A = this chain, B = another copy of it.
Amino acid sequence: MTDGRTRRREDTRQRLFVAAVELIAEQGFSATTVDDIAARAGVAKGTVYYNFESKTVLFEELLRHGIGLLTADFRAAVAGLPPREALASLVRAELEYIRRYRAFAQLLLSEMWRTNREWQQTLRLLRGEAIEVIAETVRAGVASGDLPADLDVRTASSALFGVGLVVAVDWLVFQPDRPIEDVQEALLGIVRRVAQT
């Protein structure tokens, strides 16, 4: 299974993902050329097309991969915790994720609210999966009375997701000198206050 061939190929794909995510985060999908991606990954252009059907498919698989990791982190973060603590744990997980994959987070923030793009449907779906984890937690909290009864589940969930993203990326882009721990504290404080019954 993991002979030299597949390992080599997996390595190439990984390098292409890394190159693509950085460039697209900086410039956007359209402004990033396949030649750029290939050059940054240190492979020939043909290799990109040997490994991915098209530029769009590369990006879609990248989104799937990245958000898949995030969803998994979310799931792990809430596992077995009561609603309030689960919520705080989610915020921590999200920020930790953004810290580790900052380029991907930046990309997500920039492409998330676009319309009329080929991969929009894919992104919408994946976003739904990640947010569903948050929604489950909020729903459980509202049902058990741990969270305010008037909290709208769908709204609160997507707001929580988006707010973490925007606050963290804003910090990274405009105030990179500051440690991420400060954002975490600020956000946790806000979430805690909002979650008060």
Which residues of B sit under 8 angstroms from A111, Cβ to Cβ? 110
Task: Answer whether A158 and B174 are a contact pair too, CB < 8 Å, given A114-B28, A169-B113.
Answer: yes
Which residues of A160-197 are within 8 A (CB) of B? Answer: 162-163, 165-167, 169-171, 173-175, 178, 182-183, 186, 189-190, 193-194, 196
A114 touches B163 (CB 8 A): no
B173 touches A27 (CB 8 A): no
Which residues of B sit under 8 angstroms from A183, Cβ to Cβ? 155
Q: Is A30 an interface residue (CB 8 A)?
A: yes
Q: In the complex the two chains form, what is the Cα distance from A27 to B120 in whole Å?
A: 10
Which residues of B sit under 8 angstroms from A25, Cβ to Cβ? 115
Q: In the complex the two chains form, what is the Cα distance from A28 to B114 in whole Å?
A: 8
Q: In the complex the two chains form, what is the Cα distance from A111 to B111 in whole Å?
A: 9
Beyond contacts A30-B31, A110-B111, A159-B170: 4 other A-B pairs, Cβ-Cβ < 8 A, are A28-B117, A113-B170, A158-B170, A162-B166
Closest 6 CB pairs of A and B: A30-B30, A30-B31, A166-B166, A26-B116, A162-B166, A193-B193
